[in-house]
Amino acid sequence: MHCVKKVKEDIYYVGGSDRRLGLFENVYPIPYGITYNSYLLMDDKKVLMDTVDRSISQQFLENIEYVLGNESLDYLVIQHMEPDHCSMVSCLLQRYPDLKIVGNMQVKKMLKQFFDLNLDNYLEVKENDTLNTGRHTLKFISAPMVHWPEVMMTYDAYDKVLFTADAFGSFGTMDGNLFDDEVNFKSEWLSEARRYYTNIVGKYGPQVLNVLPTLDIELLAPLHGPLHRSDIEWYVEKYQKWASYEPEDKGVLILYGSVYGNTENAANVLANELSSRGVKNLKVYDVSKTHPSYLIAEAFRCSHLVTACVTYNSGIFVNMEHLLHDLKAHNLQNRTVALMENGSWACSAGKQMKDFFEGMKNMRVLEEKVTLASSMKEAQQKDVEALADAIVCSMENE
Ligand code: FEO
């Protein structure tokens, strides 16, 4: 049975939700599922904006068939070639042999890489090219590296809709409600939208800043998650922060890597001291327990990071080391960092973490540091207090 929704006068949502997939891109846990959004423009010409992942193929095909009725599909605009959005291209070409694919040069190249297709019917477009469909004129805007090099967005000035590809997307399924003002986006969705952005597109902040919308927009239509029609300015401002690597909150994120709980104990003592000094909304995470994608999102949110870590195989504890590499790979910058280290012998995790952070962009590592030998003793209390003082001082002065 079809399951579609009209989202603008001539535009229908024909995508769907996947609640079965465990790991998006085989990496990111999606406990609340994911949507693959696709939109069908029913103008004189019928235009589909992207396809979906094959996991929801049946729903997608039924949706298109229902909305088209006796009409045929004229154009398929491909904004992004990642298979979660283009897996149905061959199938559509078989069903609608006259279908013309619209995309840029890189899309054409990738289509050939992914599929064996006859592309004689390909309409190649460039930045600012337009496609008139009757009442609507679609304008194509290059958005390279948001999230792949071929990505483009599409603006429909008639309905003031910006089809944004991966940008402005989120993890999570739509459960009947499609729009941001039908869900509690700011309180219930923002953390998953942040985790989606920072992990999927976070590395490419400068490219995101280049394409942040300045157009007259009534609807942001991304490829994942809710459609945005209220408070678009607020969401664009969030993107500006994330893409500029500016923290959203003045706050402390404590990340610990602990084998037998002694480093964890010291992390908790530090959190307690920070709280006593008036620091609110502290967050403490075990890097061996919480998936790195959540920690990357939290690191993008907070102004201050503390990494507390045991020395392991003469190096940084393995899960902390993995996380640090992930933070660097996602281009995190402009943060203040405090260090706690532990080692029963040859303690060196602190120095190694310091060197690592100093190899990242604009990371300020505080001089004060806590060093433990196996477990925290009264003698280290003053060191923890000094570290808490230094963090608070830095928060006040930044
Ligand atoms: Fe949702 Fe980059 O694909």
What DSSP assignment string belongs to 303-320? EEEEEEEEEETTEE-HHH
Show the ligand 1 pocket: residues with CB < 6 angstroms: 80, 82, 84-85, 147, 166, 223-224
Q: DSSP characters for 51-97?
A: ---GGGHHHHHHHHHHHHTT----EEE-S--SHHHHTTHHHHHHH-T
pLDDT at 182: 98
Of ligand 1's atoms, which has the minimum distance to the CA of residue 223?
A: 1
C-alpha 149/C-alpha 159 separation (Å) is 27
Residue 188 tokens, joined: 């219930």
For residue 145, the CA-to-ligand 1 centroid distance in Å is 11
CB neighbours of 196 closer than 8 A, spacing ≥ 6? 169, 170, 171, 224, 225
Q: DSSP character for 197?
A: I
C-alpha 352/C-alpha 374 separation (Å) is 18
For residue 377, the CA-to-ligand 1 centroid distance in Å is 49
C-alpha 198/C-alpha 180 separation (Å) is 20
> Is-contact 173 34, C-beta < 8 A?
yes
> Is-contact 85 60, C-beta < 8 A?
no
**243 exposed, middle or buried (CB, 10 Å; 0-12, 13-18, 19+)?**
buried
pLDDT at 213: 77
For the entire predicted model, the pTM comes to 0.96
Q: Long-range contacts made by residues 126-134, C-beta under 8 angstroms, separation at least 24?
A: 127/152, 131/47, 131/75, 131/77, 131/102, 133/41, 133/43, 133/44, 133/45, 133/47, 133/74, 133/75, 134/43, 134/44, 134/45
C-alpha 81/C-alpha 36 separation (Å) is 13
For residue 166, the CA-to-ligand 1 centroid distance in Å is 5
Of ligand 1's atoms, which has the minimum distance to the CA of residue 200?
A: 2
Of ligand 1's atoms, which has the minimum distance to the CA of residue 166?
A: 1
What's the one-letter identity of residue 200? I
For residue 292, the CA-to-ligand 1 centroid distance in Å is 19
For residue 119, the CA-to-ligand 1 centroid distance in Å is 23
pLDDT at 296: 98
pLDDT at 146: 94
For residue 66, the CA-to-ligand 1 centroid distance in Å is 26
CB neighbours of 113 closer than 8 A, spacing ≥ 6? none
Q: Give the residue from 116, 123, 29, 36 showing the smallest Cα distance to 77.
A: 123
pLDDT in tens, the chain (398 residues): 999 999 999 999 999 999 999 999 999 999 999 999 999 999 999 999 999 999 999 999 999 999 999 999 999 999 999 999 999 999 999 999 999 999 999 999 999 999 999 898 899 999 999 999 999 999 999 999 998 999 999 999 999 999 999 999 999 999 999 999 999 999 999 999 999 999 999 999 999 998 887 889 999 999 999 999 999 999 999 999 999 999 999 999 999 999 999 999 999 999 999 999 999 989 999 999 999 999 999 999 999 999 999 999 999 999 999 999 999 999 999 999 999 999 999 999 999 999 999 999 999 999 999 999 999 999 999 999 999 999 999 999 98
Strands 283-286 and 315-316, sheet pairing: unpaired
Q: Return the residue whose CA atom lies nearest to atom 3 of ligand 1.
A: 82
Of ligand 1's atoms, which has the minimum distance to the CA of residue 148?
A: 2
Of ligand 1's atoms, which has the minimum distance to the CA of residue 201?
A: 2
For residue 83, the CA-to-ligand 1 centroid distance in Å is 8
Q: DSSP character for 172?
A: S
Strands 363-372 and 283-286, sheet pairing: unpaired
